[in-house]
Amino acid sequence: MIIEKINSPKDLKSLTTKELTILCDEIREVLLTKLSEHGGHIASNLGIVELTAALHYVFNSPIDKIVFDVSHQSYVHKILTGRKESFLEKDKYDDVSGYSAPSESEHDLFILGHTSTSLSLACGLAKARDLKGEKYNIIAVIGDGSLSGGEAYEGLNNIAQSDTNTIVIVNDNEMSIAENHGGLYQNLQDLRESNGKCEYNFFKALGLEYHYIEEGNDVAKLISALSEIKDSKKPVVLHVHTLKGKGYNYAEKDKEKWHWGLPFDLKTGESKVQVPVDYNELTANYLLKKIKQDSNVVVITSGTPSASAFTKKRREAAGAQFVDVGIAEEHAIAYASGISKNGAKAIYPVYSSFVQRTYDQISQDLCINNSPAVLIIFAGSVYGLNDVTHLGLYDITMMSNIPNLVYLAPTCKEEYFAMLDYAISQKEHPIAIKVPGGGVISREIAECDYSKINKFEITHQGEKVAILALGTFYHLGEQILDELSKYGLNATLINPKFITGIDKELLEKLKSNHELVITIEDGILEGGFGEKIASFYGTSKILVKNYGIKKSFPDRFVAEELLRENGISLEQITADILTLLNIK
């Protein structure tokens, strides 16, 4: 096999076109084998095989610098830059991350995983190159889906006026994770259908030189197109039409389903993993019901309908009451604010990691205006995604300190839906709900009037130690309570429910018969919930111990291990409490 001889991009340069084509077929085989056994991003990598090979054939990485946007499509790049063993050898599968990783190779410049950043990063690389008087190519490879993000536009706008070598490759596979949305995509379609020659041209309107190549999976044609723009003295866009899922029948047919996947049977395409019913699925059913009951309800997604499990079928059922604004989190929040201000009901399910894109809009467009939109924060948990670029550990610190926002932490399924009911029905506040991590837990809950903002609930009245167990960790709080009872301790258990404020009255009362207050939260400690409790009790005799993850960027961790490192486990917390109370 040719692939066995490829240890660096240099090894590509001596291959004939025919050999390159064979190599691409081999790579596709290797990808499908690994992904069917391991899972990962499938269709985007299958689509970009030839383009990646051509890039490394024509350009001279790492002197020429290539930045892959999002980088979930960089598997082929990894194979060609000295990391093929992690795709060929089963026991080395996990030696590479699913994204660009400078720690793995000098061919990866940035750790990245959020979309729409490559153009700005490349623009910066080019600026430094020019200041230092160096000469080489800077290439950004960006998917069509990523082009809807504001950061990509801002980058493109600055590249256009930079008057220096910056090569923008638009890898147009006609798809975001789901189908694309926004005016730009009609233009991309017109460009594809006219072989790049239609009347209006988004890139040319921004002042960029523009080239089009229809045969985006033909390595020879790609080499020729790339050779033409190599060493360009000014910014240039090469628009490449590729086929997402190329070479795997199921993926070509259902690109959305095959964007990312768990291990699957190569022959049948069936998933090998049984996924239990999760909050995404439960949420989809709930929201669809709301949509049918109330024509003023509208569910918004910013390019990730999977967050609330809005499959194509469900999107069709929702009709105009479901809007995918494309990868555009800033817009999604302002749009939700506009909808809510004008008397309809906007609900925006979004992943914790991506809501970071829209801090200012949450503050300015939403919260200053007190627009009663509803945000549902998915995977905001140590049990959520564990790639360093997709962590769900920061939403509490980011969101809970924004004035006017009410951020709720349900502890179980029943409470989650009760809070959703409240959030959707009220008109007073912007409300966000933090979906609990770690599987769906069901329990009986008491009636609650959530309009009484910042009202915590004592679910078990005890003494000496009170445990404020927020959201995900309420269940752990219950376990600690049981464990402490073995030592004759009747602890108090509190379900805070509200992340954005503290129940001063309740906290004040605890002083009378408690010595110690424990807080546990699902996220980093810094700027979070527990520190507010510590500050409240700062001038009293009550001791406070806060549990959360230490501020950091952990990568591909095992949740239970990370928690244990941060002192969060039944055994550790119980032991701490006994020590602090001088019982053991």
User: In the range 206-225, which residues lie near its own copies by CB under 8 A?
Assistant: 206-208
Q: Which stretch binds its own copies (CB under 8 A): 40-48, 328-336, 433-441, 453-461?
A: 328-336
Q: Report how far apart, in Å, the C-alpha atoms of 381 and of each of 356, 392, 397, 522 are.
A: 14, 5, 13, 6
User: Cβ-count burial of 1 within 10 angstroms (0-12 exposed, 13-18 middle, 19+ buried)?
Assistant: exposed
> Least separation, in Å, of the C-beta of 207 and its own copies?
4
- Interaction residues for its own copies, span 110-149 (CB under 8 A): 110-114, 117, 120-132, 148-149
- Quick check: 105 binds its own copies (CB under 8 A)? no
Binding residue (CB under 8 A) for its own copies from 194, 195, 200, 487? 200
Distance CA 154, CA 366 (A): 23
Please count the other Cβ atoms lying within 10 Å of the Cβ belonging to residue 447. 5
Which CB atom, from 257 or from 357, has the smaller least distance to its own copies?
A: 357
For its own copies, the closer CB: 207 or 263: 207
The residues near 10 (Cβ < 8 Å, ≥ 6 apart) are none
Task: Work out how close the CB of 323 gets to its own copies at its nearest, in angstroms, rounded to a whole number.
Answer: 7
Interface residue with its own copies, options 238, 521, 528, 563 (CB under 8 A): 528
Sign of CA dihedral 327, 280, 440, 404: positive
CA distance 391 to 559: 11
Selected from 532, 563, 573, 574, the binder of its own copies by CB under 8 A is 532
Tell me whether residue 153 or residue 417 sits nearer to its own copies (CB atom). Answer: 153
* Residue ranges in 437-466 that form contacts with its own copies under rule CB under 8 A: none
Establish if 315 lies at the interface with its own copies (CB under 8 A).
no
Strand boundaries in 250-318, DSSP class E: 260-261, 297-301
Nearest approach in angstroms of CB 414 to its own copies is: 29
Residue 403 is a binding residue for its own copies (CB under 8 A) = yes
Distance CA 179, CA 349 (A): 18
Q: In this chain, which of 8, 21, 158, 224 binds its own copies, going by CB under 8 A? A: 158
* Among 12-20, 70-78, 184-192, 424-432, the segment contacting its own copies (CB under 8 A): 184-192
Q: Could you say which residues in the range 357-386 bind its own copies, by CB under 8 A?
A: 357-361, 363-365, 367-369
Range 272-301, binding its own copies (CB under 8 A): 295-296, 298
**Interaction of residue 339 with its own copies, rule CB under 8 A:** yes
Packing angle, helices 49-58 and 219-229, rounded to 10: 40
122, with CB counted inside 10 A (0-12, 13-18, 19+), is buried
Taking the alpha carbons at both ends of the chain, their separation in whole angstroms is 65
Does residue 340 touch its own copies according to CB under 8 A? Answer: yes
- Residue closer to its own copies by CB (options 149, 462) is 149
Residue 77 phi, psi dihedral angles, 5° rounding: -55, -40
Alpha carbons 315 and 319: distance in angstroms, whole number? 6
CA dihedral 478, 479, 480, 486 (to 10 degrees): 110
- Using the CB atoms, write b or e for 523-547: b if 16+ within 10 Å: bbbbbbbbbbbbebbeeeebebbbb
Q: Does 194 bind its own copies (CB under 8 A)?
A: no
Q: State which H helix or E strand residue 338 sits in.
A: helix 329-341
Rule CB under 8 A: say whether 331 interacts with its own copies.
yes
Residue 551 makes contact with its own copies by CB under 8 A: yes
**Residues 495 to 524 in contact with its own copies, rule: CB under 8 A:** 524
Residue 336 found at the interface with its own copies (CB under 8 A): yes
Should residue 343 be labelled a site residue for its own copies when binding is judged by CB under 8 A? yes
Does residue 168 bind its own copies (CB under 8 A)? no
| Stretch of 89-97, 151-159, 374-382, 412-420 contacting its own copies, by CB under 8 A | 151-159
Among 32, 76, 334, 374, binds its own copies (CB under 8 A): 334
409 φ, ψ to 5°? -120, 95
- Which of 159/484 has CB closer to its own copies? 159
Question: For residues 277 and 583, which CB has a smaller minimum distance to its own copies in the complex?
Answer: 583
Residue 183 in the binding site for its own copies (CB under 8 A): yes
- The residue range among 170-178, 436-444, 465-473, 531-539 that interacts with its own copies, by the rule CB under 8 A, is 531-539
Q: What separation in angstroms does the CA of 34 have from each of 106, 263, 269, 373, 523?
A: 23, 9, 14, 42, 32
Contact criterion met (CB below 8 Å) for 562 and 549: yes
Question: Which among 35-43, 48-56, 203-211, 414-422 is the span making contact with its own copies, rule CB under 8 A?
Answer: 203-211
CA–CA distance, 300 with 311 (Å, rounded to integer): 13
Tokens standing for residue 394: 């920061």
247 or 471, CB closer to its own copies? 471
Amino acid at 324: D
531 binding its own copies? (CB under 8 A): yes
Counting residues that bind its own copies (by CB under 8 A) gives 119
Q: Does 310 engage in binding with its own copies (CB under 8 A)? A: no
Q: Does 252 bind its own copies (CB under 8 A)?
A: no
Q: Are 434 and 412 in contact (CB under 8 A)?
A: no
